[in-house]
Structure 1
Amino acid sequence: MTVPQPPEPIPGARLLFSLDPAVSHLNHGSFGAVPIGVQRAQQRLRDEMEANPLRFFAQGLVDRIAHTRRHLATFLGADPDGTALVGNATTGVAVVLQSLGLRPGDEVVTTDHGYGAVGFSVERECGRTGAVSRTLRVPLTASDEEVVEIVRTGLRPGRTRLLVIDQITSATARLFPTAAIVGVAREQGVPVLVDAAHAPGMLPITVASVGADFWVGNLHKWAYAPRGTAVLVVAEPWRERIQPLVVSWEQDSGFPARVEWQATLDYTPWLAAPVGLFTLRSLDLDRVRAHNAALAAYGQRVVGDALGVAPADLPEPGGPTVSMRLIPLPPGVATTMDAATALRARIADRLAAEVAVMAWNDRGWLRLCGQVYNKPDEYDRLAVRLSALLAQG
């Protein structure tokens, strides 16, 4: 089989970012990259804040946050009245977990594709309340139908108080059939929290159509927002039960203001986030999504070929718009988190390439992303040099 052709570059897109040109930035999914125009918008907001802090915080800031929330919720197809701005998806997960009122005998169900920090949050809340956590094993090659069936048989109505499912998995770059999973859980009376950390900006999603009780997503990854910008979307029956991690002056205002307002928090990332959406639209959102997914697929094939991985052994993400791809590393390489972290650092230092290296199910994996600032030759160079680096042990 031939390697897929890379997409045509989007003219001028690389110039929108201040990334170091001496480095191949192939891991947009971890921390994103903020366009220069968004950086400048946030700096203007910081300048406004520092010019008169009292005026900035005390005169109209709550309304400005609400206006931003409406803008971002509309982009995501979510109900603005059920959407709260939070610092990141993991924060949103923590808010939900501590609002559930878990008790001994309750359980929280996750999958083995879940994000590590979310798993820590589940374990902490279960340890604090006497509830238990249970992990469903989902094979990497499972079809959507098989994933749904694993969830269906893994839930225990009356005991399972929450199912946490990823929309796009971080560790395995897999798109899960979230709407179908939510439907199965609803049949059994189990609430669902969808961790959609990578979805905003990457996928043409409508949050309302997913139908989850809780949905969290970052806008600082694929929607070009400043870091620290995410949303927690809560279905109407749950909103009055949602409590912030820290109580502040908007507590009596109810959800979402009671979750958003944290006194002297730096709100400039949120207020600048609409400029990120403007940047996406100016590049043509559909074109950006298609470009990024095609470039990630190209990178997966050329690097996979260089490592001797047959095309049939390269995991498919489950959708044509997923801009992250996974490549299995040779057996015995990066099979633990410490080893994966060390290999990522070696690749960054010796190959001048930023990638993600994962240890999942006792196997090392390389995760590559595609973004408008990337070029095909960056993946080509990595493919040529990575095999030699791995051979050095």
Structure 2
Amino acid sequence: MSAEDPPRSIPGARLLFSLDPAVSYLNHGSFGALPIGVQRAQQRLRDEMEANPLRFYGTGLLDRVVHTRRHLASFLGADPDGSALLPNTTAAVSLVLQSVPLSTSDEVLMTDHAYGAVAMAVRRQCRRTGASARTVAVPLGAPAREVVSRIRAALRPGRTRLLVVDQLASATAMLLPVREIVAAARENDIPVLVDAAHVPGMLPVDVGAIGADFWVGNLHKWGWAPRGTALLHVAPAWRRRIDPLIVSWEQEQGFPLSVEFQGTIDYTPWLAAPAGVFTLRTLGVDTVREHNAALAAYGQRVVGEALGLAPADLPDPGGPGVSMRIVPLPAGMATTFPEAHALRQHISDKLAVETAVNAWGGRGLLRLSAQVYNRPEEYHHLTDHLPALLNEFKQR
């Protein structure tokens, strides 16, 4: 199947979600969407917690968290004993940054595809320690060999203390060859943090085979877990150095329990997360992935055509299975974060279509997601009205 034709819908899949039928929700990548069965599983846990809070928090909670972590780590090919559950990827990034020693002569290297909040966290930690934050440019659509070459050339042995790289970039939907990047950094003994926020559920992954010092992914996006569920995997050499951002009662246990146990936080998202994986497996993981990737490619094509873009103008994510695609917006439009936010809101208000709009490299990028609840007609609705809306927005 090519992007010329939309994929067949998965029977019954749309009914698994409680999304507003009056809205075309083409932005699963930002906050996900929770299947009804997972919502109910979490609500049962909330009911249990409120029926007897002391029993919920005091009897067997840690065992349940460990059991959940093992289940989710297994799904991702990660070592359960070297992994920890966290609220999200950005929380994990801050945890890693404070655990890697930095001084005034050191630097943290990122690519220009880094997620905005991650880049902010890197810069804040560098300000605190006197280190430098540096960015290497990776052209959109660059082949894997060029990506690795550019990053390898940017590394400064003896000075670069951490490399932060996306596995699948949020703003550009570009898939980076992280296994090869990690190998290149290892040649110079430089640790690597892989931001895989969008990977769990969307792409097959073997975290152990990637070999990164730190790898973190959100399960509340494409893994259908409740929001606030991420898994951080840490290589053995770093586990004793991980110090939680907040000290609580399991501090002396060390990683991962010292990170996971944070008193009276809400643990129900984590404990309900296996229900999301179960739902995904019930539909068929490969079936869902193939459908979503094909529909995203189809949506990119038809929206691109509506904006007068040729196939060569539409960036390829650089690998199969990616269910987010981007469409470059007209030159000069949404080139800053405030402008991008305003355009996204305008599309939502005027068309009842939820998308993502990002400013990257001096260009506005419309990001389209595809999930099992989406239909080709939703992308057609966008194509019917987007050109006129963009002209209207330009004249504001």
Q: Same fold (TM over 0.5)?
A: yes
| Runs of 4+ residues deviating >6 angstroms | none
**Aligned match of 1:272:** 272
Alignment of 1:160-179 (within 5 A): 160-179=160-179
Cα shift at 1:388: 0.7
C-alpha distance in 1 between matches for 2:101 and 2:64: 32
Percent identity of equivalent pairs = 68
* 3-state DSSP of counterpart to 1:317: coil
Asked if 1:65 is matched to 2:65, the reply is: yes
Given that 2:3 and 2:297 are in contact with CA atoms closer than 8 Å, whether structure 1 keeps it comes out as no
Cα shift at 1:141: 2.6
Asked if 1:108 is matched to 2:108, the reply is: yes
**Aligned match of 1:369:** 369
Alignment of 1:173-192 (within 5 A): 173-192=173-192
Alignment of 1:177-216 (within 5 A): 177-216=177-216
Partner amino acid for 1:9? S
Asked if 1:39 is matched to 2:42, the reply is: no
C-alpha distance in 1 between matches for 2:53 and 2:304: 53
C-alpha distance in 2 between matches for 1:275 and 1:309: 41
Partner amino acid for 2:123? E
C-alpha distance in 2 between matches for 1:141 and 1:64: 43
**Aligned match of 2:93:** 93
Cα shift at 1:3: 5.2
C-alpha distance in 2 between matches for 1:104 and 1:196: 28
Cα shift at 1:4: 1.6
**Aligned match of 2:310:** 310
TM value normalised by structure 1: 0.99
* 3-state DSSP of counterpart to 2:270: helix
C-alpha distance in 2 between matches for 1:298 and 1:369: 11
Alignment of 1:1-393 (within 5 A): 4-392=4-392, 393=394
C-alpha distance in 1 between matches for 2:241 and 2:63: 23
Summarize deviations over 1:339-374 as a string: whole Å, max 9, x none: 100000000000000000010011111000110000
Q: CA-atom RMSD, angstroms?
A: 0.7
C-alpha distance in 2 between matches for 1:331 and 1:133: 29
C-alpha distance in 1 between matches for 2:3 and 2:264: 52
Partner amino acid for 1:111? T
C-alpha distance in 2 between matches for 1:16 and 1:90: 29
Partner amino acid for 1:246? I
C-alpha distance in 2 between matches for 1:116 and 1:189: 26
C-alpha distance in 2 between matches for 1:328 and 1:371: 21
C-alpha distance in 2 between matches for 1:254 and 1:3: 49
Partner amino acid for 1:60? G
C-alpha distance in 2 between matches for 1:389 and 1:100: 47
Partner amino acid for 1:202? M
* 3-state DSSP of counterpart to 2:317: coil
C-alpha distance in 2 between matches for 1:379 and 1:159: 47
Summarize deviations over 1:38-59 as a string: whole Å, max 9, x none: 0000000000000000000011
Unaligned 5+ runs, structure 2: none
Summarize deviations over 1:299-345 as a string: whole Å, max 9, x none: 00000000001100100001110000010001111111111000000
Given that 2:141 and 2:318 are in contact with CA atoms closer than 8 Å, whether structure 1 keeps it comes out as no
C-alpha distance in 1 between matches for 2:85 and 2:43: 20
Unaligned 5+ runs, structure 1: none
* 3-state DSSP of counterpart to 1:349: helix
Aligned length: 392
Cα shift at 1:102: 1.2
Summarize deviations over 1:139-173 as a string: whole Å, max 9, x none: 11311100000011000011100000000000100
TM value normalised by structure 2: 0.98
Cα shift at 1:178: 0.3
C-alpha distance in 2 between matches for 1:92 and 1:115: 13
Summarize deviations over 1:264-317 as a string: whole Å, max 9, x none: 000000000000000000000000000000000000000000000110010000
